[in-house]
Amino acid sequence: MSASLAFVFPGQGSQSLRMLADLGAQKPLVLDTFQQASDALGYDLWALTQEGPAESLNQTDKTQPAILTASVALWRLWLAEGGAAPAFVAGHSLGEYSALVAAGSLNLADAVKLVERRGQLMQEAVPAGQGGMAAILGLEDADVIAACAEAANGEVVSAVNFNSPGQVVIAGSKAAVERAIEACKARGAKRALPLPVSVPSHCALMKPAAERFAESVQAIAWQAPQIPLVQNVSAQVVRDLETLKRDLLAQLYMPVRWVETIQCLAAQGATRLVECGPGTVLAGLNKRCAEGVSTANINTPEAIAAALAAQA
């Protein structure tokens, strides 16, 4: 184990058609992992990620198993190729479930079915077209929170992802998000961009989904994490299983405190991060969250070779 190493797992938005295609062609372990997930889900997940259609891959209940499986495949490949075990794991939103598989709390088959159900319940909680999310760039957190409060007018809109200093995502009912965008612009936001998502994640509109999801979470045989896990809701290391499950449910309607998560890792001495999943979203965020933090990616043959060489 490397005391300075932490693995961080991305959430929705990191998916793309043909993700991990080169690694899949070279490393049977990647295809084996996708086959295990496909067996659990009842459809060919690798074919979906490689061939699409993109509209299907971008449906929440398909996106979540796809990103989780890709992340777990990369985790297994890292260890199989001689990569050091990290001192900590964390995940951004959905990525927390990938982190739980890596930490030994969940097996892959249970995890993909769990996040498929999570995606279904999130979509059912707010019919398509009624919710919205937007990225607010260039404002202090307090200004974004104030703009949401001002724009609510009895509807739901709140700051839900504190991704990096000056980058906050808001979510809520469509009209309230549109009003909050204008309120953020009036406060001097550099940009306020609606996001192409079908579900307003991490806001109060997701509470009904969390209530229904509790049954699925309780039905699984969980294990205590074998690697310390920093959770989204508390931005702290959580070892107690009941707290972990409670916060997983709360995560559906509570903010992702990513800045504080990275700061928590850095405070524990974990400043060498590996983004374990498709895409490079977290690498861009992490460097702005805490001093002295570096993030490697392992989503291509070249990237994993470079990350393995760097630890030698």
Helical (H) or strand (E) element with 284: helix 281-286
| CA separation, residue 103 to residues 65, 90, 157, 238, 281 (Å) | 17, 10, 34, 12, 22
| Structural Rg of the chain based on CA atoms | 19
In whole angstroms, give the CA distance from residue 112 to residue 105. Answer: 13
* CB environment 2-22: b (16+ within 10 A), e (fewer): eebbbbbbbbbbbbeeebbee
What type of residue is 275?
Answer: E
- Catalytic choice (14, 93, 158, 173): 93
Q: Does 4 qualify as catalytic in the annotation?
A: no
Q: Which of the following is catalytic: 71, 201, 202, 216?
A: 202
- 287 close to 273: Cβ distance less than 8 angstroms: no
Q: Which of 105, 60, 7, 26 is nearest to 209 (CA)?
A: 60
Q: At how many degrees (to 10) do helices 207-218 and 241-250 cross?
A: 150
Does 2 participate in catalysis according to the annotation? no
Helix %, strand %, coil % for the chain, to 5?
50, 15, 35
Phi first, then psi: give them for residue 130, nearest 5 degrees: -95, -20
Q: Can you tell me which residue has the tokens 């929170």?
A: 145
In angstroms, the CA 276 to CA 209 distance is: 27
Instruction: Give every CB contact of residue 65 below 8 A, 6+ residues apart in sequence.
Output: 37, 41, 45, 112, 115, 116, 119
Active site residues per annotation: 93, 202
